[in-house]
Amino acid sequence: MNENETILIIDDEVQIRRLLEILLSSNGYNTVFASCGKEGITSAATHHPSLIILDLGLPDIDGQQLLIKLREWYTKPIIVLTVRNSEDDIISALDKGANDYLTKPFRSGELLARIRTAIRLSSEKETSAVFESGSFSIDLVNHVARKNKEIIKLTATEFSLLSLLVKNQGRVLTHQFLLKEIWGYSYLEQTQYLRVFIAQLRKKIEDDPAKPELLITESGIGYRFGN
Amino acid sequence: MNNLNNIRPDPDELLASIKLEEDQGQRGKLKIFFGMCAGVGKTYSMLESAHIDKSGGKDIVIGYVETHKRPDTNELLTGFEIIPRKTYNYKGTQMEEADIESIISRKPDIVLIDELAHTNVPGSRHLKRYQDIQDILDSGIDVYTTLNVQHLESRTDTVSQITGIIVRETVPDDIFEKAEEVELVDITPDELLQRFADGKVYTHERSEEAVRNFFKKGNITALREMSLRIVADRVDAQLRVYMQKNRIRGPWKSGMRLLAVIGPSSQSAKLLRWAKNLSYTLGATLLAIYVESARKLSPAQQDQLNRNINLARQFGADFMTTSGNDVVKAILDISQRENITHIIVGKPKFRSLWSYFTLRNFINKLIKYSGNIDVYVLGSNTSEDNQYMKYLSIPGFTSRLSHYLLSAVFTILTAVIFYPLKEFIGYQIVAFALLFTVSILALFVGIGPILLSASLSALIWDFFFLPPPFTLHVNNPEDVMMLIMFFIIALIGGIMTSRVRRQEKLTRERELRTNALYQLTRELSMTSGIDEVIKVSAKYVMKYSRLDCSVILQGGNNTLDKIIRPEKSLKLSESELSIAEWAFQHSREAGRFTETLPSTEWTFYPLTGNKLPLGVVIIKQKNPLSGDEKAFWEAYRTQISNALEREFLNDIARRASILNESDKLYQSLFNSISHELRIPVATIMGASDTLLSGDLDNDTSRHLCIEINKASERLNRLIENLLNMSRLESGRIKIKTDWHDVHDLANKVIEVLRNEVGKFNLEVSIPDDMPLVKIDFGLMEHVLHNLLLNATQYSKPGTTIRIKMYYDQKCFVMQVMDRGPGFPREEIQNVFNKFYRLEGSISGGTGLGLSIVKGFVQAHHGNVFIENRQNGGSRITVMIPTEITDMMQIKLE
């Protein structure tokens, strides 16, 4: 199923490149490599990859700058791979248009799952109006959410937060993005609103609110609607 | 006693001679070709000398030589490298100066620079060429230069007396005295006059008349004698230095100490020059003193005083300011303290009857009370006397117009009030009332208005009150007497009061400054941190002198760090920064109102500590500082320097201790961690080798892969802990708190450790009404991770591990409880120490986990403690003080 998908990997570490090549080709992807930023831009232009895996620490161009350059014309998903354990770097990369992130060392299963999600999201022309996952379903057009077939009462804010996350299912949405979209610019620092509403939503839609599977916390960064 | 002194070299002098020697070791040597006037062939001799040195293998360049197109001199230039001169554009004319930077970077052995006394074009590095030469000498290059006797600062007066020419370009005597070599270039007056007649002499004087007047045999003979004597004196001085150096007994310095009393007149400059000559010939030390009195100085006087003080400093004299209305007492006090042997004062000028008494009194008193101290009284120049009179305004006339008006109004008002009463109380009483008004006014206004008030009241009293009224005529002789007495009393009373007031004001200002200094000292002593010290200093400078002050600190390597503090203050251009650098390197002030690079709007003062050069303080002065302000500002700078030096030294000590700590860390690392690193690495290598050798069944391969996986996880954990430890060690942990749901914290950690906790019965209890807390999620994640991992490592599988979180007494409380072996009671206080590991603990730990927990909790200003539980196992409790959010409030919004 992945035969037509070409993935461009921009990373200066030979070992990581080799590891990714084995991992991705054994999962049916075509791989193209670039060891620096300039090469990366050229490869992206010539090979039109379905997805780019980008290391933020490159020898020639700063990864964040490269991201901006790529995003000037490249519309398909970019997953940022970084050893930097800093949340600020990740948030700034997501703000600059990265679709997802993963920190090194990473689990190969996790990487594959992220790649799949990113490609699927980008290939879907429109989000379908109805979404289902286990005992939970939501109809975005008719504003109806159900748990175990029963209609859940959601406030307007709760519904817009949930639908925003569902529409971007599998993708990390940063705190700032969510606050801005739901509450507006003046609430950018008010993360407590987000925490309270997420906790409420979890009580309403999760099977076990203590072990959330739908509303997943990306600590220090944001939330992701799980698949 | 005296004998003993003569035998044993004075330690101070020995020290001075050592210092001189040291200075000479690093600095270049200055050789001056010295002549009586232009045309004796100084430049020619200098070039000849240079040729001899050149053939001796010295690297010689020409920095600036003026041959005045004399063919024989020109010829001597050949064979030398000439450093191109720098061209300056000054008011449309191109002017050339020696290129100091190029000379210094070219670094020859010797550089030739003509005319030591030359004044540079505005915009050059220094005002004077001799200052340029100091810089060159500082960089270790020898300098040959030329100088005429009339340019020596201390001789200018005598020269102008002899020749009638006022010399403006002067060189401080200090420079001349410190020159390593002086070569006299001498020809006979007849020979010189012949050369002059032949047109071989070039002078700067444009007017032929002046030149002709100058080149007269009488003049030249006098100048020649002067220059011969100076050089002979110098030889004496050299001999003395030589004798000191070689501990040769002999007639040491005379031990005489001269005190020159200077004031705000140009006469004082003359007096200083005379005193300098005397001290030079006598081998005496020169001190200068200014006695500040209640007299108010006009701006011109203040300016002259500053010039005199500078001159005294140029002459190498110690300068002091003292204050007091009794000038004689002030002078004698200082004399006694400083063991003065000779006092030099100017002859006072009798400008009025009043001054006749006071001033004659001054000299008499000085002579009467000075005991065994010699007193020299110098005569004054009458032509300058008139000039002196010109700016000798009676002090205080500069009062505001409103004060004059006020005085007039009050005087008239008093007269008007008492006019109707004069019939009842008599006109004598009115005089008292008027006198009273004048006295009261004296408390508020200056001498001018008092004079007005006194005269006006005398007139009014005479005209309106004294019989016959409405005439100025007075009938009674008693009344005439009374009128005169009235006027004198009013005047004296008023003037005295106002003098006392001025003295009082002076004292108050002084007190204010002392107070300011005290406050600064006190606040600085309580301040810590370099930036804080600078902030406090800037605040106080602003408060007491209304000047914006910024500081550039040293950045190690004996250069400035180019960061201007406090932040967001002034912006400096590259060239201004290089002035700062110059002031720093030379520990001398530079910039506006100084002699070095004055063409900028800032003034740069060096901050020098006892052990370290510290930096430069920059202020934007509107006026040059007066003597008093200068002393005050110096004291201020000393305080700031001391505080800064203290901080710098603290910093160095702290860095040393951090280094020490990290040394220990690395030691422990090598001891305990190298082992921990090798185990997983060995596992990975071994397992992957086996896998590579091939021919393994699926099950074995799978097991090897699991081992590799486990080993790499262990490595990853170790690296994580080491990184965290080094973050803690560097002291650079800054917590970034935000609102968090503690459920997320528990979930995240349990998820990461799912393999480890899987074997246990894990209970998580968080109350339903748990509020959001403000924590650094990343750090707290590490805390819980380490605690939970510890619990899983030390407990038996199948037992219960409990995580409990709640909010109590403004703290977020997090507990991890296990049923492991617990901690030995006596070891509990040690378990948070770095690399501390309990006896017999399982392998796989580094002894870092709990110390990281403690570090991160402390970064939150929290607390962590360990207890053993009643039925076995341990309970670790973390308490983090936090704000909380009212969840209900948000839900309702």
Across the interface, whether the CB atoms of A192 and B781 are under 8 A apart is answered no
Is residue A180 domain-shared with residue A90, that is, in the same domain?
A: no
Residue ending a domain, choose from A64, A89, A123? A123
- Which chain A residues contact residue B744 at CB under 8 A? 217, 219
Q: Domain range for residue A134?
A: 130-225
Q: Are residues A14 and A108 in the same domain?
A: yes
pLDDT, position B298: 76
Q: Among partner residues A192, A210, A219, which is closest to B748 by beta-carbon distance?
A: A219
Predicted pLDDT of residue B386: 41
Q: What is the mean pLDDT of residues B49-65?
A: 88
Pairing of strands A78-82, A51-55: parallel
Domains, chain B, ranges and CATH?
A: 7-245 (3.40.50.300), 257-390 (3.40.50.620), 401-503 (no CATH), 527-637 (3.30.450.40), 733-892 (3.30.565.10)
Contact predicate B783/B850, CB 8 Å: no
List % helix, strand, coil for chain B (3-state, nearest 5): 55, 15, 30
Among B48-57, B169-178, B406-415, B618-627, the least confident range: B618-627
The DSSP code for B124 is: S
Residue A51, domain member (yes or no): yes
Percent of chain A, pLDDT > 70?
Answer: 96
CA distance B561 to chain A (A): 28
**Minimal CA–CA distance to B135: which of B793, B582, B552, B539?**
B582
Residue A88 lies in a domain: yes
Best interface-test mutation with B: which of A84, A88, A192 has the largest number of B CBs within 10 A?
A192
Contact A219 B887 (CB under 8 A): no
One-letter amino acid at B847 equals G
Q: What is the CATH number of the domain that holds A208?
A: 1.10.10.10
pLDDT at B252 over 70: no
Per-residue pLDDT at B704:
87
Question: Which range is least confidently modeled, A36-50, B313-327, B695-709?
Answer: B313-327
Q: How many CB pairs under 8 A join A and B?
A: 46
Strand partners, B616: B552, B606
Q: Does the beta-carbon distance from B741 to A198 stay under 8 Å?
A: yes
- Indicate whether A190 and A173 sit together in one domain: yes
Element (H, E) at B62: strand B60-64
pLDDT of amino acid B805 = 94
pLDDT of residue A107: 84
Element (H, E) at B93: strand B93-97
Distance CA B407, CA B456 (A): 9
Q: Within a domain: residue A50?
A: yes
Q: Do you know the residue count of chain B?
A: 893
* Residues A150 and A219 both lie in one domain: yes
What pLDDT is recorded for position B457?
87
Could B764 and A219 be called an inter-chain contact, meaning their C-beta atoms sit closer than 8 Å?
A: no
CATH number, residue A91 = 3.40.50.2300
Check whether residue A70 and residue A166 sit in a common domain. no
**Where residue B201 falls among pLDDT bands split at 50, 70, 90?**
confident
Would the pLDDT of B518 be above 90?
A: no
For position B246, what pLDDT does the model report?
59
How many domains does one find in chain A?
Answer: 2
Say which residue, B722 or B889, is predicted with more confidence: B722
Q: Lowest-pLDDT range, A157-171, B13-27, B719-733?
A: B13-27
Residue A1, in any domain of the structure: no
* Final residue of a structural domain among A71, A90, A123: A123
Contact across the interface for B739 and A192, Cβ inside 8 Å: yes
Helices then strands, each counted (H, E), chain A: 8, 12
Kindly identify which residue of chain A lies nearest to residue B887, measuring between CA atoms. A196
Q: CA A201, A203, A209 angle in degrees (round to 5)?
A: 115
Residues A135 and A118 grouped into a single domain: no
Which amino acid type is present at position A56?
Answer: L
Residue B2 confidence class, pLDDT cut points 50, 70, 90 = very low
pLDDT band at B251 (very low <50, low <70, confident <90, very high): very low
Give A199's contacts in chain B (Cβ within 8 Å). Answer: 741, 743, 887
Model confidence over A54-88: pLDDT tens digits?
988 888 888 889 999 999 888 889 999 887 567 78
Residue of chain B with shortest Cα separation from A183: B893
Alpha helices in B527-673 (DSSP H): 530-545, 574-586, 627-668
Mean pLDDT, range B611-626, rounded to an integer: 81
A109 and A200 part of one domain: no
Rounded to the nearest angstrom, the minimum Cα separation between B838 and chain A is 31
Q: Is residue A219 part of a domain?
A: yes
- Pick the last residue of a domain from A123, A153, A185: A123
Phi/psi for B281 (5° steps) reads: -70, -40
Question: pLDDT per residue over B479-502, tens digit each?
Answer: 888 888 888 888 888 778 777 877
For residue B206, with 0-12 CB atoms within 10 Å meaning exposed, 13-18 middle and 19 or more buried, which class applies? exposed
For residues A98 and A16, membership in a common domain is answered with yes
Cβ-Cβ contacts under 8 Å, A192 against chain B: 739, 772, 885, 890
E strand or H helix that includes residue B785: helix B777-794
Highest mean pLDDT among A131-140, B300-309, B727-736, B799-808: B799-808
| Distance from C-alpha of B523 to C-alpha of B526, rounded to nearest angstrom | 5
Best mutation target among B708, B753, B891 (most A Cβ atoms within 10 Å) is: B891
Strand order in the sheet with B257-262: B318-323, B285-292, B257-262, B342-346, B374-378
B102, B111 contact by CB (below 8 A): no
Q: Are residues A70 and A161 in the same domain?
A: no
* A40 in any annotated domain: yes
Together in a domain, A117 and A135: no
With 70 as the cut, is the pLDDT of residue B394 above it? no
Over the stretch A194-208, which tens digit does the pLDDT of each residue have? Answer: 888 898 898 888 888
Distance from CA of B890 to the nearest CA of A (A): 6
Q: Which residues of B touch A210 (CB under 8 A)?
A: 743, 746-747, 764, 766
Name the band, by pLDDT with cuts 50, 70 and 90, for residue B33: very high
From the candidates B713, B714, B720, B741, which should be mutated to test the interface with A, based on the most A CB atoms within 10 A?
B741
Is it the case that residue B425 has pLDDT exceeding 50?
yes
Is residue B298 within 8 A of residue B393, CB to CB? The reply is yes
Q: CA–CA separation, B210 vs B164, rounded Å?
A: 9
Chain A residues in contact with chain B using a Cβ-Cβ cutoff of 8 Å: 87, 105, 191-193, 195-200, 209-212, 217, 219-220
Is the confidence at residue B194, as pLDDT, over 50? yes
Residue of A nearest to B712 (CA): A105
CA-based nearest distance A223→chain B, Å? 11
Distance CA B35, CA B71 (A): 21
Nearest to A219 among B712, B777, B890 (CB): B777
Q: Which residues from A are below 8 Å from B747, CB to CB?
A: 210-212, 217
Pair A80, A136 in one domain: no
Provide the pLDDT for residue B244. 57
A118 shares its domain with A177: no
- Please write the tens of the pLDDT for every residue from B226-249: 888 788 777 766 666 666 565 554
Residue A214: list chain B partners with CB under 8 A.
none
Contact A193 B890 (CB under 8 A): yes
Cβ(B533)–Cβ(B647) below 8 Å: yes
CA distance B217 to B515: 62
Catalogue the E-assigned strands of B737-888.
Answer: 738-740, 761-765, 773-775, 800-808, 811-817, 863-868, 874-881
Closest listed residue to residue B188, CA positions, set B198, B199, B196: B196
Here the tokens at position B302 are 């203040």
B10 exposed, middle or buried (CB, 10 Å; 0-12, 13-18, 19+)? Answer: middle
Which 8-state DSSP code applies to residue B152? B
- Mean pLDDT across chain B: 79
